[in-house]
Structures are given as structure tokens and as C-alpha cells.
Amino acid sequence: MYAPAAESERSARVWGALLAVYLIWGSTFLAIRVALEGFPPLLVSPLRFTLAGGALFLALRARGYPLPQRREWLNSLFIGALFCGANSLLVIGEQWVSSGLAAVVIASVPLWAALFAGLFGRWPIRREWAGLAVGFAGVMLLNAGADLRTSPLGGLALLASAAIWALGSIWSRRLSLPQGLMSSAAQMLCGGAVLLTLALLGGERPAQMPSPRAISALVYLTAAGSIVGYSAFSFLVRSVRPALATSYAYVNPLIAVALGALVAGERVRPATLGGLALILAGVSAIVRSG
């Protein structure tokens, strides 16, 4: 008689995690652009991952969470490096590409995830393929008329970011990782520390003291984008089908465009409304398949 209550609780957790990655990660594209005003591109992601992972790790240990096993640390290092590396490529791409357009390119994550999941023997079901197609059509309509002739280097960095993030999402399901939030903490701490060390050894340093605006953006990326968003995403990767776990990539462009309109005064075009309808329809199809 407890099964319905347990299922209801799980459904609520899934929806809460989805809302977190939809809304928070949608806003991080603009936050990354602000952080770049004061921090070198190769420092932004390693700093936020290391700080977030360290803070979460200490908080969990204070609450009595057990230390990960040796194999779990090694797997966390591998997956964390993939995720942190993918995010670093996103930051690099945003040096030349607008935050909204970056979100559009990253919207290819579910397609990459479907490909990698298929290579691992789990191809999307028919409704998921339909949702992926409709969602991608909405993203393209959302940016109809926008300047997509971006820097080749920026575009390549963004595409590589989407592919590597999707690979990490699929591969992490096959590895032994720490339980619960400790998985997020270990991945962020290990991956961030490795890339931060490489960046510092490579001579990455702020040219001058970052402005309060840039520091605030980094704090937001660390607290909301990494601790809350990454933890929610890790839960989704472990709990639902890959297409649903990565469906945030279709909603993030909507948030990015909305913030552009509200914060930067960008005009909302009619194509935006059509894109919104298609994207929500695509996400709805994927959700019903999860």
C-alpha cells in the first residue's frame, strides 16, 4: 500500500529536478557571459566546479555521508573531467558567440545523447524520436533570422561541448559512482580540481581584480548552476531515460532568450512564440516517454 506514495514522491523529485535544470541552467548562459568580463575562460568552469564540489563535499561529510570508495573516486574523476571539460568548451565558445546562440547549439545534447545511448545498446523509442525532432525544430524556429554565421572556432567548441556532455551523461550510467549528492560532490570536486590545476599551470590568471559584477556571476554559477543544477542533473541521469534527462537543452534556449529580452532589451520576435510551442510539445512527448 506504500507503493503509490513512493511513486508519487519519486515523480515529485523528478519534476523538481527537471524544473531546476530547466530554469537555473537556462540562466547560466547569461551568467557565463558576465563572468567572462572578469575571469579568463579556462578558469570559469574549473573554479565554479571546484568551489561547488568542495563546499558540497564538506557539507555532506558534516552530515555523516560516507567517503566514496577508491573505484568511485576514480570514476568520479573521469566523469567529472568530462563534464567540467564540456562546460569549459561552452565558456570558450561564448567568447565569440552570444549566450542565446550558445544555448541553441547546446540544444543538440539530446541528439548526441540519443546517439551515444544507441551505441551503448539503448536506442530511443519512437515517441522520444518524435519529441527530439519536434523540439529541435522549435529551437531552429526560435532562432530563425538570427545570425548563425558564428566564428568557426566558437561553433566547434560549442558542438564539442554538447557531444562531450552527452557522452558523460550516458557513460556515467554504466559506472560505479557514489550514492546521492556525494556523487555530484565527488564529480565536481575531482573534475574541477584537475582542470583548475591544468589552467593554473598553463598560466591562466585574471588580468586584474574582477569586478563585483563578474564575481557575483561566478558565485551564482557556483551556488545555483553547480551545486543545485548539477546535483539535480546527476539525479536525473541516474533515475530517468537519457532523452528526458537531457531535455533541458530544449528549454534552456527559451530561458536565455527571455533573459535577453528582459535584461538586455532584445525584441521578442513572432518566431519565438512558435518556437516556444514546438519546444514545449517536444519536451512533453519526451516526458510522457520517461
Instruction: Supply the pTM of this predicted model.
Output: 0.85
Q: What is the pLDDT of residue 143?
A: 64
Phi, psi of 177 (to 5 degrees): -125, 160
C-alpha cell at 290: 520517461
Q: What is the pLDDT of residue 110?
A: 82
CA distance 201 to 161: 22
Using 70 as the pLDDT threshold, list the residues of the chain that sit under it: 1-5, 143-150, 264, 266-268, 272, 287, 290
Which residue's C-alpha cell is 537543452? 249
Q: What is the pLDDT of residue 2?
A: 47
Q: What is the pLDDT of residue 144?
A: 65
Q: What is the pLDDT of residue 264?
A: 64
Contacts of 101 (CB under 8 A, 6+ apart): 143, 146, 147, 148, 150
Cβ count within 10 A of residue 56? 23
C-alpha cell at 93: 565558445
The answer to whether 243 and 113 are in contact (CB under 8 A) is: yes
Q: What is the pLDDT of residue 239?
A: 86
b/e burial code for range 83-97 (CB count within 10 A of at least 16 → b)? bbbbbbbbbbbbebb
Span 159-203, pLDDT tens digits: 899 999 999 999 998 899 998 899 999 999 999 999 999 999 988
Cβ count within 10 A of residue 215? 15
Q: What is the pLDDT of residue 1?
A: 46
Share of the chain above pLDDT 90, in %: 47
Q: What is the pLDDT of residue 153?
A: 84
Question: What DSSP string runs through 119-179?
Answer: HTT-PPPHHHHHHHHHHHHHHHHHTTTS-----HHHHHHHHHHHHHHHHHHHHGGGS---S
